Amino acid sequence: MSEHSGTRPFGIETVIETTRASLPGYTGVVPLHTPDYSANPAAWSYVKQCIDTGWVSSAGAFVDRFEQMLAEYTGSPHAVAVVNGTAALHVALELAGVRDGDEVLMPALTFVATANAARYCRAIPHFVDIDERTLGVDAERLGDYLKQIAEQSGDGPVNRQTGRRLAALVPMHTFGQPCDMEALAVVCERFRLTMVEDAAESLGTFYKKQHTGTFGKLGILSFNGNKTITCGGGGAILTADPDLAQTAKHVTTTAKCGKAAWEYYHDVTAYNHRLPNLNAALGCAEMERLDQVIQAKRAIAERYIQAFADIEGVTIYREQPFARSNYWLNILMLDPEHAGRRDDLINAMNEAKLLVRPVWNPMHTLPMHADCPRMELPITESLAQRIINLPSSPHLL
pLDDT at 294 over 90: yes
pLDDT confidence of residue 326: 98
Within this chain, do residues 153 and 61 fall inside the same structural domain, yes or no?
Answer: yes
Within this chain, do residues 140 and 200 fall inside the same structural domain, yes or no?
Answer: yes
Task: Tell me if 374 sits within 8 A of 127, measured CB to CB.
Answer: yes
Give the whole-angstrom CA distance, residue 245 versus residue 240: 8
Q: Which of 37-51, 239-253, 350-364 has the lowest mean pLDDT?
A: 37-51
Q: Is residue 212 part of a domain?
A: yes
Give the whole-angstrom CA distance, residue 41 versus residue 173: 31
Domain limit, last residue, from 288, 314, 331: 288
Mind listing the pLDDT tens digit for each residue in 118-149?
A: 999 999 999 999 999 999 999 999 999 999 99
Within this chain, do residues 19 and 62 fall inside the same structural domain, yes or no?
Answer: no
Residue 376: strand pairing partners? none
Degrees to nearest 5, angle at CA 79 with 77 and 82? 170
Q: Is residue 363 part of a domain?
A: yes
pLDDT confidence of residue 2: 42
Q: DSSP per residue over 225-260, as a string?
A: TTSSS-SBSBEEEEES-HHHHHHHHHHTBTTB--SS
Domain limit, last residue, from 288, 303, 336: 288
What's the start-to-end Cα distance of the chain, in Å? 23
Give the whole-angstrom CA distance, residue 299 versus residue 30: 17
pLDDT confidence of residue 6: 54
Residue 219: strand pairing partners? 197, 238
pLDDT confidence of residue 1: 45
Give the whole-angstrom CA distance, residue 188 versus residue 182: 10
pLDDT at 372 over 80: yes
Give the whole-angstrom CA distance, residue 123 versus residue 98: 7
Within this chain, do residues 276 and 299 fall inside the same structural domain, yes or no?
Answer: no
Within this chain, do residues 121 and 62 fall inside the same structural domain, yes or no?
Answer: yes
CA 24 to chain centre: 29
Domain limit, last residue, from 288, 321, 346: 288
Q: Is residue 242 part of a domain?
A: yes
pLDDT confidence of residue 258: 80
Q: What is the average pLDDT across 279-286?
A: 97
CATH number at residue 208: 3.40.640.10
Range of the domain at 185: 39-288
Degrees to nearest 5, angle at CA 393 with 301 and 4? 20
Within this chain, do residues 297 and 342 fall inside the same structural domain, yes or no?
Answer: yes
- Stated as kind and residue range, the H or E segment containing 210 is strand 210-211
Q: What is the average pLDDT across 239-263?
A: 94
**Can you state the angle between helices 41-53 and 61-74, rounded to 10 degrees?**
140
Share of the chain residues as helix, strand and coil, in percent rounded to the nearest 5: 40, 20, 40
Mind listing the pLDDT tens digit for each residue in 297-338?
A: 999 999 999 999 999 999 999 999 999 999 999 999 999 999
Q: What is the average pLDDT across 281-290?
A: 97
Sequence-distant (≥ 6) Cβ neighbours of residue 295 within 8 angstroms: none
CATH number at residue 358: 3.90.1150.10
Within this chain, do residues 24 and 68 fall inside the same structural domain, yes or no?
Answer: no
pLDDT confidence tier of residue 279, bands split at 50, 70 and 90: very high
Q: What is the average pLDDT across 389-396?
A: 96
- Show the beta-strand stretches assigned E in 160-209: 166-169, 194-198, 206-207
Residue 158: strand pairing partners? 151, 165
pLDDT confidence tier of residue 260, bands split at 50, 70 and 90: confident
Task: Choose between 262 and 131: higher pLDDT.
Answer: 131
pLDDT confidence of residue 24: 87
pTM value > 0.85 = yes
Degrees to nearest 5, angle at CA 82 with 188 and 273? 110
Task: Choose between 196 and 28: higher pLDDT.
Answer: 196
Give the whole-angstrom CA distance, residue 21 versus residue 25: 9
Within this chain, do residues 27 and 50 fall inside the same structural domain, yes or no?
Answer: no
**Nearest residue to 94 via CA among 214, 275, 271:** 271
pLDDT at 5 over 80: no
